Structure 1
Amino acid sequence: MNALEVSELAFAYGPRQALDELAFSLRPGRFAALLGPNGAGKSTLIALLTRLYDLQAGDIRIFGHSLRRAPRQALRQLGVVFQQSTLDLDLSVQQNLAYHAALHGLPRREAQARIELELARQQLGERRHDKVRELNGGHRRRVEIARALLHRPRLLLLDEASAGLDPASRLALGRHVRHLCQEHQLTVLWTTHLLDEVQAGDQLLMLRQGRLVAEGRADQFGDDLGASFERLTAAAPCQP
């Protein structure tokens, strides 16, 4: 069973087609980078995966559950870290996680056990009582990942998760998320427009104007990923 299947997905904002017959799949336990220039359709795809937007055409299946026909079962498998942080800066790390666990209806004892596990996994145990505003950008992202994993999803979406981070923090975050894939069989879909966030062994999906224009292991695109990306995602010439 695939972790994620996107089938013939189409979405339009009025006359503007944002996604056009998009189709791809992800296997469990893989790190996949969704790469595309601004306006390629990455944010629209994330909005559809998280049901911020309703499906117009096509379907999305998350570990076999159709987002159209069984949305609750599908969304239970999903954790999300959005580009813009949604943490409460004036609450502690512990309080942010406890509040999120309560929203998911987790009993207090079970919630605390999961919080302990995720704090250890994200190497944040010593920061549990710090207010979020006291953390640097990389640690805030780790808190968001811990929060996203509290309900034990099997698919984690990270939408431009490195935005605003310095190069060292971006590198550390990418390394940390890949470790989660390798050690815990978590499936990750990481959207970005930054080529240096892609590693040779990643599954790579390239979007251009709402269409999938290339797919495969990143190292299959040659030594110069930038040149391949520019060639494959360049805007189509205008028709006379």
Structure 2
Amino acid sequence: MQHVRTIDREDGPAALDVAGVSHFYGRKQALENVSFSVRPASFTVLLGLNGAGKTTLFSLTNHLYDTRHGTIRVFGHDINRESGEALRRMGVVFQARTLDLDLSVRQNLAYHARLHGIGGQEEARRTAAALEIVEMSDRVDDKARNLSGGQMRRVEIARALLHSPALMLLDEPTVGLDIRSRAGILKTIRGLVKSRGLAVLWATHLIDEVDDGDDAVVLRQGEVAARGRVRDIVEASGCGSIGEAFALLNRAETAETTS
């Protein structure tokens, strides 16, 4: 299937600009020449099967690994050369749970706030506002271990919002959650795109989390297999839905692997 319209910059720098990024674990190549952009105030889906390279790309964008091949910029700031400026504009929700289970919700958020130099009344104000967004205000004094999986994820989202990022990265944020929790979290994040102009990169393998109007990047074996508006990807594939297009792309992967 041919590539479709690139998600390009409009006025000013992209919220996230990934250009020619490759990554190796030893001799094994995990990403190959990955390029795409996330527009400000947009919802972009990073769609790929497990092992496609989504988490590796997130780790590079978070500067957990150095980018040795290609460049990653956040609102124009190179993640290698200006990591402080880039990370300041970014909020992250990792696939693995990262709350301290022995601390309360308030304490988990306070620790994160102070890492960003936020304390005192400002910390309290931001904590209250973030928990209200994710509908967890009534659990502020509960220990994290007493929350459900969906509630923990909501607290992690609140924590990621404390320093007012302009870009949010979420790596498989609904994995292991029930349908209702998944839908609620997705609704919250989409709402932030509209109400706050947040730019979002949402990594998933779940087709029902993708809307026709979303921007999308389809990763296949560490390469960009398609990118653009979801409706354009579907049209270019000759399929009737993004689910069918995604399946077609991954059948192509199987055919290439076995040929």
Say yes or no: TM over 0.5. Answer: yes
Q: 2:129 aligns with which of 100, 111, 117?
A: 117
Matched, 1:103 2:120: no
Equivalent pair of 2:44/2:216 in contact (CA under 8 Å): yes
Q: What's the secondary structure of 2:168's corresponding residue?
A: strand
Q: What's the secondary structure of 1:237's corresponding residue?
A: helix
2:205 match: 193
What is the CA–CA distance in structure 1 between the aligned matches of 2:119 and 2:105, rounded to whole Å? 19
Instruction: Map Cα deviations across residues 211-236 of structure 1 (whole Å, 9 max, x no partner).
Output: 11111222331532222101123315
Equivalent pair of 1:89/1:133 in contact (CA under 8 Å): yes
Equivalent pair of 2:63/2:80 in contact (CA under 8 Å): no
Structure-to-structure mapping, 1:28-107, within 5 angstroms: 28-107=40-119
Equivalent pair of 2:46/2:203 in contact (CA under 8 Å): yes
Which 4+ stretches in 1 moved above 4 angstroms? none
Matched, 1:237 2:243: no
What is the CA–CA distance in structure 1 between the aligned matches of 2:257 and 2:44, rounded to whole Å? 32
Q: What's the secondary structure of 2:46's corresponding residue?
A: strand
What is the CA–CA distance in structure 2 between the aligned matches of 1:106 and 1:200, rounded to whole Å? 38
What is the CA–CA distance in structure 2 between the aligned matches of 1:158 and 1:164, rounded to whole Å? 14
What is the CA–CA distance in structure 2 between the aligned matches of 1:134 and 1:239, rounded to whole Å? 47
Q: 1:181 aligns with which of 180, 193, 209?
A: 193
2:143 match: 131
What is the CA–CA distance in structure 2 between the aligned matches of 1:116 and 1:210, rounded to whole Å? 40
What is the CA–CA distance in structure 1 between the aligned matches of 2:222 and 2:121, rounded to whole Å? 45
Q: Which consecutive residues of structure 2, in runs of 5 or more, have no partner in the other structure?
A: 1-12
Equivalent pair of 1:206/1:233 in contact (CA under 8 Å): no
Q: What's the secondary structure of 2:96's corresponding residue?
A: coil
Matched, 1:16 2:28: yes
Aligned Cα RMSD in Å? 1.4
Instruction: Map Cα deviations across residues 17-50 of structure 1 (whole Å, 9 max, x no partner).
Output: 1111110001111111100111111111011011
1:75, CA displacement in angstroms?
Answer: 0.7
Q: Which consecutive residues of structure 1, in runs of 5 or more, have no partner in the other structure?
A: none
Equivalent pair of 2:42/2:197 in contact (CA under 8 Å): yes
1:180, CA displacement in angstroms?
Answer: 0.8
What is the CA–CA distance in structure 2 between the aligned matches of 1:99 and 1:14, rounded to whole Å? 35
Give the counterpart letter for 2:177 in structure 1. L
What is the CA–CA distance in structure 2 between the aligned matches of 1:173 and 1:69, rounded to whole Å? 33
Instruction: Map Cα deviations across residues 91-112 of structure 1 (whole Å, 9 max, x no partner).
Output: 2111111111122221322211
Instruction: Map Cα deviations across residues 182-214 of structure 1 (whole Å, 9 max, x no partner).
Output: 111111101011111112221111011111111
What is the CA–CA distance in structure 2 between the aligned matches of 1:10 and 1:99, rounded to whole Å? 34
Matched, 1:142 2:159: no
1:170 match: 182
Give the counterpart letter for 1:89 in structure 2. L
Equivalent pair of 1:213/1:233 in contact (CA under 8 Å): no
TM-score by length of 2: 0.88
Equivalent pair of 1:36/1:233 in contact (CA under 8 Å): no
1:218 match: 230
TM-score by length of 1: 0.95
Identity fraction in percent? 49
1:204 match: 216
What is the CA–CA distance in structure 2 between the aligned matches of 1:48 and 1:64, rounded to whole Å? 16
